Structure 1
Amino acid sequence: MSGTLRLLWPVLAIITIGAALGTGGYTFIYAKGSSYLTNDPSACANCHVMQAEYDGWIKSSHHEVAVCNDCHTPHDLAGKYTTKMKNGYRHSFAFTTGRFEEPIEIKKSSLDIVEGACRSCHGNIVEAIDGPHREGDARISCVRCHADVGHQR
């Protein structure tokens, strides 16, 4: 490596790292990134895609007893933030590239988390009705019949 190139390499690396950190920091601030680390439901309505879900939650019976994270993230700390990270990345990528569905549709992995949350809070009721609420060997999902409970339409 020549002397000039050897001196230029660290400068280019610093400029590249600085640009990446600056862009990332600006995006984090512009997108209200720190709000997603909280338990505040208004963070879920930061983008217009989720406004209908937020408004529906405000009108729902769960408004007084549960926030978004209670139903849409696992209750253990690692699971909660892993899920928030995965969904946050997927949502921000879809929103930034315009590849999102309106109204937004819940993914299978998220539906499993919601189902677990229903059963966690309403376990005594669910156990009593699980027997008759089956299709073959499979349990019927709570949200199949109670889809509007958390987000009233």
Structure 2
Amino acid sequence: MLNRLNKKRAMMLGLAGVATLLAAAFLLLGPPGLLAKSESPDFCASCHVMESQYTAFLRSGAHRRFRCVDCHLPNENLASHYIWKSIDGMKDVIFFYSGHIPERIRLSRHGTKVLQANCIRCHVELVSPINTERHCWSCHRGITHLRSGARVTR
């Protein structure tokens, strides 16, 4: 029984690996501009679940010139960026198509760390003399999607 279970697990892992490679090949070699398009705010907003976040983003002052991935994905190296882009993207697809969309979208523990690191990365000279353990948005509430002054209907 245990051997049969291990074979099934190995087969599932193999299929997942093949699917991941095919998805990566499609994104890298597929239609021109697909990878770049998938990093645009318009792409992120194409899911109706993100409408209120997108509206808030458009009204968020200086940060609206950036892409969602500039803040919400790791940007210290390309490998980490694309690994987490894949993980977060698949998670979003699963939530959306399974119908288990949270009433209020919240940052995960990992997302919180990434967002804080990206705030510090962009504003390193400004934040160097202060304690960066506290989340930037705890003081700068206007930069969050829900507190940007945009009317959010969630």
Is TM more than 0.5 here?
yes
What TM-score do you get using the length of structure 2 for normalisation?
0.66
| CA distance in 2: counterparts of 1:119 and 1:108, whole angstroms | 17
Which residue identity lines up with residue 104 of structure 2 in the other structure? P
How far the C-alpha of 1:68 sits from its partner, in A, is 0.6
Closer, same or farther: CA 94–38 of 1 in aligned 2, 3 Å: closer
Q: CA RMSD in A?
A: 2.5
| CA distance in 2: counterparts of 1:44 and 1:104, whole angstroms | 14
| CA distance in 2: counterparts of 1:128 and 1:67, whole angstroms | 27
Aligned 8 A contact 2:116 2:136 in 1: yes
How far the C-alpha of 1:103 sits from its partner, in A, is 2.5
| CA distance in 2: counterparts of 1:96 and 1:35, whole angstroms | 21
Moved over 3 A (4+): 34-38
Aligned 8 A contact 1:36 1:43 in 2: no
| CA distance in 2: counterparts of 1:40 and 1:81, whole angstroms | 14
1:102-127 CA deviation, whole Å, 9 max, x = no partner?
22111110111100000001111111
How far the C-alpha of 1:35 sits from its partner, in A, is 6.2
| CA distance in 2: counterparts of 1:47 and 1:38, whole angstroms | 12
| CA distance in 2: counterparts of 1:37 and 1:82, whole angstroms | 17
Q: Residue 139 of structure 2 is aligned with which of 138, 141, 145?
A: 145
% identity of equivalent residues: 29
1:41-97 CA deviation, whole Å, 9 max, x = no partner?
101011111111111111012112x21111011112111111111011111111111
Closer, same or farther: CA 148–100 of 1 in aligned 2, 3 Å: farther
How far the C-alpha of 1:36 sits from its partner, in A, is 7.4
How far the C-alpha of 1:150 sits from its partner, in A, is 4.8
Which residue identity lines up with residue 109 of structure 1 in the other structure? H
Larger Rg: 1
What TM-score do you get using the length of structure 1 for normalisation?
0.67
| CA distance in 2: counterparts of 1:83 and 1:117, whole angstroms | 14
| CA distance in 2: counterparts of 1:71 and 1:84, whole angstroms | 12
Corresponding pairs, count = 116
Equivalent residue for 1:3? none
Which residue identity lines up with residue 112 of structure 1 in the other structure? K
Equivalent residue for 2:41? 41
